Amino acid sequence: MSIGKVSEFNVKTGNWTLYVERLEMYLKVNAVKNEMWLPTLIAGMGDEAYELLSNLTSPIKPGDKSYQEVVKILQEHLQPKSSFMAERYRFRQRRQLSGETIPQYITELKKLSKYCEFHSTLEDNLRDQLVCGLRSDVIRQRLFAEDNLKYSVAVRIACALEAAERDSAAVEQAGDGDGLGGSGADSALHAVTSSTSRARTREQDSAPRAFKGREHGGGNALYCSACGSRYHRSDDCRYKKFVCGKCKQSGHLRRVCPKRGAYTGNAGSRRHMYHVEAAECETPSADDEPPSVESQTELQEDLHHLCLNSYKPVSLTLLLDGFKLNMEIDTGSAVSCISKATYNKYFYTRPMDKFDLVLKFYDGSRIKPLGIIKPEVRYGNITKHLELFVIDGGTTSLLGRQWLSELQIKIPTFHSMVLDDHFSNNHLSLLLDRYNKLFSGGLGRFAGGKATLRVREGATPVFCRARPLPYALKDRVDAELDAMLREGVIEPVESSDWATPLVPVRKADGGLRICADYKVTLNPVLLVDRFPLPRINDLLVGMNGAKIFSKIDLSQAYNQIELDNSKNLTVINTHRGLFTYNRLVYGLSSSPGIFQRIMSNLFHDIEKVEVFLDDIIIGSSNEREHLQILETVLSRLHKNGMKLRKDKCLFMVDEVKYLGYIISKDGIKVDPDKVAAIVKIPRPKDVSDLRSFLGLVNFYAKFIKNLSTTLAPLYGLLKKGVTWDWDRSCEDSFKKIKKVLTIAEVLLHYNPITMKLKNKPSAIRF
């Protein structure tokens, strides 16, 4: 009987190195012969992992490779070695997060240091980053005071001080009789679910209890006798020398004057504390000595946070397993949660299943739920068994977005269609939130395999020197190269047979794109991928009958496709040395065909979706159909590791700009911005200028009746043997065509049924 088992490998979230280590331990403990290691690996890795392996080894079958070769191939694809400098940069940037304990922080530092190549200096670097990244100034100062501080000593002292601080806060909180202020666990639960304002308010409410003393009446809470604040002592208060407008004595403000009857001397009184909290939201009266503008601003900022307690949460009562449970609606949380105490009170008879999901605080720190249950939830006429997470601590039951959607609980809808704003309906908002990783920034990586570049047999390598770079562009080019290095788009190499000079290109948004002049090196000998780009007219016909549109734009589109070993052909020569591309490159004659093939294969089976390189357009006749198509498209992009440009995506709009046209339910129009650019073109001075102008005009030829007749005088100047003579007829033709473009009519979408029945020329045939 075998010991243990071989689990399937998760391509999207799994760690290949750890998987191989566990597999090899399994093989050794079960005395599996070396020749059986590869079959065991292939048999246990799962369908998705095997499909990826087959693509990477194609045309050779994985079974024809050795075990070591297969492990290496997947290692290079799934976990390519990153720059140790980049890893060290990430290590240096790591700080202890809010809600993260010191042991958890140390664990994350050790994880980040794995690929930093610190070697013998590992403990010194861990010690330095531990001390410098601590959130607590008190603990950091204590560690600074140590001579010859060792890593192990720093860990022991820091953990001990944190534990002492936590225990002290728990003792003080246990002594509070006022019943106010959320517990640390309660604040953690709210932070987990991203309820930003509530989490901040509760954290501020409970903060003084974690460090403090007693003042004003000898009670358990800290109150300044000068202004009534709970955040400092009266000795440190800026109002301790103010003259009260009530009793005319110095030392306090009017709002906390004892003669107003607010302070009864009973520090445990619940009424007393409520009065102080209300008073904290006031400002000094006109009779008080006025504070400075700076002091006034600082005080108001603190008090505004405290006043948030008066805004009650929105709650809803649901029936869970027959019990009525009041839950706080939290659209910032994807899941619904209850505390362990609530579980023990109502659901202790329902077994709790383990769950590996780790929830995140607002600041990025993590918490693992105790488990998950699936109670019967009833709201109105809807009854479902839904997932409910149990959190260790907290007192509030949260109703998240999943339950809101499943129970069809209506929340306010918004009407802006741009991604940065609120969306037109709740379903779209929930859908985009479900795939928010597509818009999370960074560079995507296509998971469907790597691209291959091929050159003609017998091709001779070409090595070009780096071209001089204008001084005005040097800093911007350096910044772009650094960004490409961080993202893994390029990597330095020491030598190469191929080298292509660098070409910086200005983008439309004012940015800079680094390209290479492959026309003088690689393109002449490259076997070009001839996959056809779709005709624009065919794409426009695909939008027939559409009333609602979405446009999706990929971020750094070509760079999301990895190159295989043929990347050594793409080396560029810069003022900083040689770099090779790890990703598909702009400027290669094969890049458009390779990318269009990938995108066409991804979406060829989805109706109402058209793709032109990195521009994806969706058109449908109703919202329900559109949401279904949109979810399918986003799901495929997410599964394949792609990323989108948040600022260039539009969802469910009435009209959209696409490939130089305006597409709407009424038809196709010219793009006013492009027409405006054509109108501004000055009179051509030679044949070259005239050809450029006519090329732009012909892009919109289908919108202009009798175009050839209108442009006849201009075409006459292009005939062989004709001397350049810009006469009155040419000038009239030039002005007329500009005017016609500005009033171009809308073209109807091509409809074959309408054309057959009516046979009218008003519907333009593309």
525, 456 in Cβ contact below 8 A?
Answer: yes
Q: Can you tell me the distance from the alpha carbon of 173 to that of 229, in angstroms, rounded to the nearest whole number?
A: 18
pLDDT score, position 260: 63
Pick from 458, 205, 441: nearest CA to 307: 205
Tokens 């919109």, located at residue: 700
406, 417 in Cβ contact below 8 A?
Answer: no
Buried b (16+ CB within 10 A) or exposed e, 410-421: eeeeeeebebee
- Collapse the DSSP code of 262 into the 3-class scheme (helix H, G, I; strand E, B; otherwise coil) and give the result: coil
Q: Can you tell me the distance from the alpha carbon of 660 to that of 539, in angstroms, rounded to the nearest whole number?
A: 12
Amino acid at 424: S
97, 364 in Cβ contact below 8 A?
Answer: yes
764: tokens are 């333009």
Report the chain (766 residues): mean pLDDT per 10 consecutive residues.
78 84 86 86 86 85 88 83 77 86 90 84 90 86 85 90 71 44 38 38 37 39 66 69 78 75 37 33 42 40 44 82 87 87 86 79 74 90 89 83 86 48 60 84 85 88 87 85 87 89 77 83 88 78 81 87 90 90 88 89 87 86 87 90 85 83 80 83 88 85 80 86 87 86 63 47 41
Beta bridge partners of 328: 315, 398
**Residue 618 CA to its chain's centroid (Å):** 22
Segment 262-271, tens digit of pLDDT = 333 333 333 3
pLDDT score, position 751: 53
pLDDT score, position 472: 81
Tokens 């006043």, located at residue: 307
Buried b (16+ CB within 10 A) or exposed e, 67-83: beebbebbebbbeeeee
pLDDT score, position 680: 86
439, 419 in Cβ contact below 8 A?
Answer: yes
Q: Can you tell me the distance from the alpha carbon of 222 to that of 680, in angstroms, rounded to the nearest whole number?
A: 71
Rg (Cα) of the chain, in Å, rounded? 34
583, 563 in Cβ contact below 8 A?
Answer: yes
Q: What are phi and psi of 24, to 5 degrees?
A: -65, -35
Which residues, other chains included, contact 721 with Cβ-Cβ below 8 Å and sequence gap of 6+?
none
pLDDT score, position 760: 46
730, 713 in Cβ contact below 8 A?
Answer: yes
Q: Can you tell me the distance from the alpha carbon of 124 to that of 153, in angstroms, rounded to the nearest whole number?
A: 12
Q: Can you tell me the distance from the alpha carbon of 699 to that of 600, in angstroms, rounded to the nearest whole number?
A: 24
Neighbours of 184 (CB within 10 A): 20
pLDDT score, position 373: 92
Pick from 313, 366, 315, 296: nearest CA to 197: 313
Q: Exposed, middle or buried, 728 (CB in 10 Å: 0-12/13-18/19+)?
A: exposed
pLDDT score, position 580: 92
526: tokens are 């490259």
Tokens 């908002």, located at residue: 429
HSE value, Cβ hemisphere, 13 Å, CA-based, for 49: 23
Report angle CA 417, 419, 423 to the nearest 5 degrees.
Answer: 45
Helices (H), 45-101: 47-57, 67-78, 84-93
Pick from 581, 555, 574, 577: nearest CA to 453: 581
Q: Can you tell me the distance from the alpha carbon of 33 to that of 287, in angstroms, rounded to the nearest whole number?
A: 91
Q: Can you tell me the distance from the alpha carbon of 193 to that of 196, in angstroms, rounded to the nearest whole number?
A: 8
227, 303 in Cβ contact below 8 A?
Answer: no
Pick from 200, 137, 163: nearest CA to 361: 200
Q: How many residues does the chain have?
A: 766
Q: Exposed, middle or buried, 167 (CB in 10 Å: 0-12/13-18/19+)?
A: exposed
Strands (E), 330-452: 337-339, 359-360, 366-367, 371-373, 376-379, 382-385, 388-391, 398-399
- DSSP states along 607-647: TTEEEETTEEEEEESSHHHHHHHHHHHHHHHHHTT--B-GG
Report angle CA 608, 612, 616 to the nearest 5 degrees.
Answer: 50
Pick from 391, 402, 401, 379: nearest CA to 343: 391
pTM attached to this predicted model: 0.44
596, 533 in Cβ contact below 8 A?
Answer: yes
Tokens 């006519």, located at residue: 694
Question: Would you put residue 556 in left (φ > 0), alpha (ψ -120 to 50) or beta?
Answer: left
Q: Can you tell me the distance from the alpha carbon of 41 to that of 24, in angstroms, rounded to the nearest whole number?
A: 9
Neighbours of 571 (CB within 10 A): 23
